[in-house]
Amino acid sequence: MRNLLPVLTVVLAIVGLWYLAAVWMNATWVYDQAAREGREVFLVDLLGETMMQERPVLPAPHQVAKGLYDGLFGQAITSKRSLIYHGWVTLSATLLGFVIGSAAGILLAVGIVYNRAMDQSVMPWAIASQTIPILAIAPMIIVVLNSMGVTGIVPKAIISAYLSFFPVVVGMVKGLRSPDAMQLDLMRTYNASGGQSFAKLRLPSSMPYLFASLKVGVAASLVGTIVGELPTGAVAGLGSRLLSGSYYGQTVQIWAALFAAAALAAGLVALIGLAERVVLQRMGLVR
Amino acid sequence: MKENDSMSPVIDPVIEARGLDLVFQTADGPVQALKDVSLTIGKGEFVSFIGPSGCGKTTFLRCIAALEHPTGGSLTVNGMTPDEARRKRAYGYVFQAAGLYPWRSIAGNIKLPLEIMGFSRDEQEQRVRKVLQLVDLEGFGKKFPWQLSGGMQQRASIARALAFDADLLLMDEPFGALDEIVRDRLNEEVLKLWARTGKTIGFVTHSIPEAVYLSTKIVVMSPRPGRITDVIDSPLPRERPLEIRDSREFIEIAHRVREGLRAGHGDEI
């Protein structure tokens, strides 16, 4: 509870600045409108009219809140206007992509740690893969997979996996290499097999690193999925809400979708944080 | 030095080193870590290796454990090559740091070698109970390492090395990081342990009193290149109360060790 005051202060400050920015950015339209009608604009009119426009440059916080509320609770969840419907479309692809990406990341990391050739060859490619803008490669993945008959959430999940495997590789390589020479020597004195050293030493040592990179990975997964939804012609998903919003100048819709995506990401990261707490506690690594 | 070991016959040798050489290739050129080291350790002996940093005492212990590989000479452990002995799990090794796995309880840590070596669950439980008693840690099995003091952690790591049936216990400065009072107590306990188990113990240390108090044989080593300068067979009885450190014999042996260390340093001091 002691944290509540500073957090609230920051939130209030942001909302205040947002309102100021909304007045400032939406004022042009109000002045244009007034000039056309030949009337004068007073400060009271300005404040009122900048906050209730249909298509504001920057919607005011209460407009976004209303858009978000309508999207979440104002529609049947099967409706194309429901943020829950679109959120689920995005979430399912994100989860699938996250699972694929994490699994690939862990496998690659094991390969890098145990195989000298992979150690020297895989990492440069993994780094190179992340320097290519995802926006450039996403449409190609979708087109190629479509021509192979793969449609639905799989192409989006692949793009999502493409972004999320990288932090997992980096974190897991570091984690699997974290046991020091003495701990590895100890395993040698027991004449432990490679599999035994992996299961009893390297894997448990890597857990804190794994969870840290999973948190980064799941957020990257969500970004990947949303990017993957853009070139699919705005059919469904939070990405398509963003895109159709920008087609029709529905700024409130864009911001509502953005906040929905942010809440989704926060929820996913929090879930991983919870899993981390439970696992590390059971391992005795949390004091 | 007429007690020099290579001259005197040893019944039932566990470790035999003849003209052992080890050269490390480093970026600054070759470093002679061990030069012409010959030593025989008999069954049930308590042998301390003492010398300044870089004298090769730890390296020699690691050679016995097949963690380093000599570049010349011969070395046998239980009549086998060190690597064969390692594969047969002939020794338990205690490192300078306890090196307990933080994610395992004390009992879990002691079970680690037992799991790897494929002991049954019942057998594991039994052995854990036995060695915890041996190192005076009954009732601490469920605790995690961070809940124990440094001295207790090191005792747990000794228990871990004792849990399987290796007759040879190699200890690399196990108490080097502990304070004097804890160290005295642990020295007493190690002696009791040695008396009860009859194991052969190789013990690396920096401390002259520790070496003299514990050992039946003290190996004095000196650096650049790492070599043995003196081997002292201790005349002290096996039963050793702490007070023995004020006896005349104890002080005489300590003096001889100190002389050996000084001679080994030559004109460098």
Q: Which residues of chain A have pLDDT under 50?
A: none
Enter the DSSP assignment of A1. -
Of B148, B165, B182, which marks where a domain is finished? B165
What is the CATH number for B262? Answer: 3.40.50.300
pLDDT computed for residue B247 by the predictor: 87
pLDDT of B116 strictly over 80: yes
Note the pLDDT of residue B1: 40
Residue B95 domain-assigned (yes or no): no
pLDDT of residue B244: 85
Phi first, then psi, for residue A250 (nearest 5°) are -85, 80
Residue A13: per-residue pLDDT: 95
Range of the domain at B240: 13-90+167-268
B92 and chain A in contact, CB less than 8 A: yes
Determine the residue among B59, B100, B103 to mutate to test chain A binding: the one whose Cβ has the most chain A Cβ atoms within 10 Å: B103
Name the closest residue on chain A to residue B106, using Cα atoms.
Answer: A284
**Chain B window 51-80: which residues touch A at a Cβ cutoff of 8 Å?**
65-67
> What is the pLDDT at residue B7?
46
Q: Are residues B187 and B231 in the same domain?
A: yes
Contact B99 A186 (CB under 8 A): yes
Asked if the structure places residue B183 within a domain, the reply is yes
Question: Is B79 part of a structural domain of the chain?
Answer: yes
> What is the pLDDT at residue A1?
65
Average pLDDT over chain B reads 85
Instruction: Check whether residue B35 and residue B157 sit in a common domain.
Output: no
Contacts A188 to B, Cβ<8 Å:
66-67, 86
Top mean pLDDT of B71-80, B101-110, B226-235 is at B101-110
Q: Are residues B257 and B244 in the same domain?
A: yes
B89 vs A contacts (CB less than 8 Å): 190-191
Q: Is residue B3 part of a domain?
A: no
In a domain, B5, yes or no: no
Which A residues 192-221 touch B at CB under 8 Å?
A: 192, 196, 200-201, 204, 207
Can you give the pLDDT at residue B6? Answer: 45
Query: Which of B66, B103, B116 minimises the CB distance to A190?
Result: B116
| Total number of domains constituting chain B | 2
pLDDT value at residue B269: 43
What pLDDT, on the 0 to 100 scale, is given for residue A273?
Answer: 93
Q: How confident is the model at residue B27 (pLDDT cuts 50, 70, 90)?
A: confident
Q: Are residues B160 and B171 in the same domain?
A: no
The answer to whether residue B83 sits within a structural domain is yes
Q: Do B79 and B117 reside in the same domain of the chain?
A: no
State whether residue B83 sits within 8 Å of chain A by CB.
no
Query: Which residues on B lie below 8 Å from A190 (Cβ)?
Result: 89, 112-113, 116-117
Is residue B6, in this structure, part of any structural domain at all?
no
Flag whether residue A278 sits within 8 Å of chain B, measured between CB atoms: no
| Residue B116 sits at the chain A interface (C-beta within 8 Å) | yes
B1 found inside a domain: no
Query: What's the CATH fold of domain A83-282?
Result: MetI-like fold (1.10.3720)
Are B77 and B157 in the same domain?
Answer: no
Among the candidates B165, B190, B205, a domain finishes at B165
C-beta atoms of A207 and B144 within 8 A? no
Bridge-partner residues for B49, per DSSP?
A: B204, B219
Residues B220, B203 share a domain: yes
In chain A, domain spans: 4-58, 83-282
